[in-house]
Amino acid sequence: MSDRYAVIGRPINHTKSPLIHGLFAEATGQTLEYGAIEGGLEDFEAQVMQFRHQGGQGMNITAPFKLRAFELADRRSERAQLARAANALRFEGNHIFAENFDGIGLLRDIEVNLGQPLRNRRVLLLGAGGAVRGALLPFLQAEPSEVVLANRDMAKALALRNELDHPLLRISRYEELQGQAFDVVVNATSASLTGQLPPLPGEVLSGARLAYELAYGKGLTPFLRLAREQGVAHLADGVGMLVEQAAEAFAWWRGVRPDTRAVIERLTIALE
């Protein structure tokens, strides 16, 4: 009987995770089963426990269950604790281990796949939701010159800064970005999902080396279109992050990290 894994979320019909992990298993010679589970808002925890009791060894967690998965676990990594969210669970004996690979997946895509190291660079993160919470610790460990977090809700941004209490992290209102320059700008807001643009002032993107849209498969979003108009040299969406965080989870479960390049190429959609 094959080892069993699954992704759980709501809705789940759009997920690429079974394809990605199937390709990883094939490439690394692993034998496993990987399925998709439509999570229930009322019985998510029961579904996870049922999968575990039926022999499941691990799960990927997607929206809207990452916070609940974190609470369900009794062993949590530092990354998961900072994000207060889990995007992967592992079942061992009586314990449920929680991890959050979103941030290191994003960092690896930026630094390795896109060739944009953050060391000594000025980084702008737009938004203060779960994706940013997951990204902050890996980003700061990459030794940038500064990470600026811009968000509409300043109370939320302030709480996050106070929680992390890192000398390289600064928070800002959008209008306070006027006249500032950044090397890397990451849009982690939900604006692009509804065809909108974060309220960026002036030419704040001009001069950036990379504009990164966390959403993937959306083509040239308003954020990326603005970046192109302002002359940003490199535009990217989140497909690389999707694959890299999956590779981290696969390695956490299976002890071998698959190569990601072929899978990223297969899933990449032209931005035009």
CATH of the domain at 87: 3.40.50.10860
**In this structure, is residue 25 part of a structural domain?**
yes
- One domain for residues 78 and 111: no
Name residue, tokens 């209008």: 175
- What pTM does this model have? 0.92
**In this structure, is residue 253 part of a structural domain?**
yes
Is the per-residue pLDDT at 216 higher than 80? yes
Cα distance between residue 220 and residue 12, in whole Å: 24
**In this structure, is residue 249 part of a structural domain?**
yes
Catalytic residue among 21, 66, 108, 121: 66
- One domain for residues 94 and 119: no
Annotated binding residues for shikimate, written as ranges, equal 15-17, 62, 87, 102, 216, 245
**In this structure, is residue 175 part of a structural domain?**
yes
Q: What is the pLDDT of residues 72-86, one digit of tens each?
A: 999 999 889 988 889
- One domain for residues 257 and 219: no
**In this structure, are residues 58 and 5 in contact, taking their beta carbons and an 8 Å threshold?**
yes
User: Could you list the residue range(s) of the whole structural domain that residue 21 is in?
Assistant: 3-100+243-267
Name residue, tokens 């320059």: 181
**In this structure, is residue 180 part of a structural domain?**
yes
Annotated binding residues, written as ranges, equal 15-17, 62, 78, 87, 102, 127-131, 214, 216, 238, 245
pLDDT above 70 covers what percent of the chain?
Answer: 99
Cα distance between residue 46 and residue 52, in whole Å: 10
- One domain for residues 223 and 113: yes
CATH of the domain at 144: 3.40.50.720
Q: What is the pLDDT of residues 106-149, one digit of tens each?
A: 999 999 999 999 999 999 999 988 788 889 989 999 999 999 99
Q: What is the pLDDT of residues 104-116, one digit of tens each?
A: 999 999 999 999 9
- One domain for residues 83 and 107: no
- One domain for residues 197 and 232: yes
- One domain for residues 112 and 227: yes
**pLDDT band at 58; cut points 50, 70, 90:** very high
**In this structure, is residue 171 part of a structural domain?**
yes
Annotated binding residues for NADP(+), written as ranges, equal 78, 127-131, 214, 238
- One domain for residues 34 and 84: yes
**In this structure, is residue 272 part of a structural domain?**
no
- One domain for residues 159 and 221: yes
Question: Catalytic residue at 66?
Answer: yes
- One domain for residues 208 and 182: yes
- One domain for residues 107 and 232: yes
| Structural domain total, the chain | 2
- One domain for residues 109 and 226: yes
